[in-house]
Amino acid sequence: MASPQLAHQQQQQQPITSSRKLVLLGESAVGKSSLVLQFVKQQFDDYRESTIGAAFLTQTVPVQQGFIKFEIWDTAGQERYKSLAPMYYRNAHAAVVVYDITSSVSRLLAFG
């Protein structure tokens, strides 16, 4: 994957050819925010506060014929925010289901 600086320079040369809404789904504390932060900023924090409601980030990725801008919605996993989930999922092009591979309960909750 291109560095953020290189992607920014390339973006100035070619227009964004597509925009895609991506949502991350999963229970609380399974690593959704960590995955997004790594993808967008190439950064990892040993400790992160829980997401409240949802967090929104973007990442532009070069492809053969231009650029795709990902609009990433990192949803909160806590039960009290479940009622808000459909609002974030609406019109999403893709979803990433995240679960804790060390927890059979986490996997069960993710896939039923």
Structural domain boundaries in the chain: 4-111
Please give the pLDDT value at position 70.
Answer: 94
Please give the pLDDT value at position 3.
Answer: 60
pLDDT, one tens digit per residue, over 38-88 is 999 988 877 777 776 677 889 999 988 889 999 998 877 666 667 777 887
In CATH terms, the superfamily for domain 4-111 is P-loop containing nucleotide triphosphate hydrolases (3.40.50.300)
pLDDT, one tens digit per residue, over 26-48 is 888 888 888 998 999 988 877 77
CB 63 within 8 A of CB 87: no
Question: In angstroms, rounded to a whole number, what is the distance separating the alpha carbons of residues 78 and 27?
Answer: 7
